[in-house]
């Protein structure tokens, strides 16, 4: 028996042309003030407050965050997270810019939706309402539940140039 996905892709789902990346960092908790400055690497090989992992997230139209490794594109192991916690979905929607009489230009942008998780999904510290898409911007920081992992969204170009 298979695993039922908690979301289905919308008709406007598209694989993006832009090369997006998620950079994963471990943030220090407030109660970690006694930790030594040069902390030992965590299980993923990164250092405290350092880069843990990088996901190239431009090869498909959606990426599922969750503890259920059979379906998760971005596996998360923290006990506060749901089996299917959130989804990053690329959507091609009409631009709001005026065009000279022609059809509106479609822009493929990343969106994030919390899949009715118990402990929430956050963008730049703001908790998302469940089952609703939120447009993401370059530089946004995604956090999930009580996990200390931060997922920073950048394009390949912005990561290379620091813009």
pLDDT tens sequence for the chain (163 residues): 689 999 999 999 999 999 999 999 998 765 544 433 333 333 344 445 589 999 999 999 999 999 999 999 999 999 999 999 999 999 999 987 766 777 888 999 999 999 999 999 999 999 999 999 999 999 999 999 999 999 999 998 876 776 5
Please state, in angstroms and rounded to a whole number, the distance separating the CA atoms of residues 84 and 98.
Answer: 38
Please state, in angstroms and rounded to a whole number, the distance separating the CA atoms of residues 52 and 43.
Answer: 9
Q: Determine the Cα angle at 69 with ends 63 and 72, to 5°.
A: 10
Question: What domains can you pick out in the chain, each with its CATH number?
Answer: 20-30+38-93+103-161 (2.60.200.20)
Please state, in angstroms and rounded to a whole number, the distance separating the CA atoms of residues 115 and 107.
Answer: 24
């Amino acid at each position: 028996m298979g695993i039922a996905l908690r979301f289905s892709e919308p008709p406007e789902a598209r694989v993006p042309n832009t090369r997006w990346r998620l950079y994963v960092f471990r943030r220090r908790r407030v109660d970690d003030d006694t930790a030594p400055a040069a902390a030992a690497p965590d299980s993923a090989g990164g250092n405290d407050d350092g880069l843990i992992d990088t996901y190239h997230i431009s090869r498909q139209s959606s990426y599922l965050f969750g503890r259920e490794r059979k379906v998760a594109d971005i596996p998360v192991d923290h006990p506060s997270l749901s089996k299917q916690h959130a989804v990053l979905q690329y959507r091609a929607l009409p631009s709001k810019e005026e065009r000279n009489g022609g059809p509106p230009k479609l822009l493929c942008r990343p969106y994030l939706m919390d899949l009715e998780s118990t402990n929430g999904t956050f963008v730049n510290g703001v908790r998302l309402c469940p089952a609703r898409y939120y447009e993401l911007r370059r530089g946004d920081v995604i956090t999930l539940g009580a996990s200390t992992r931060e997922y920073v969204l950048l394009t390949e170009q912005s990561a290379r140039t620091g813009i």
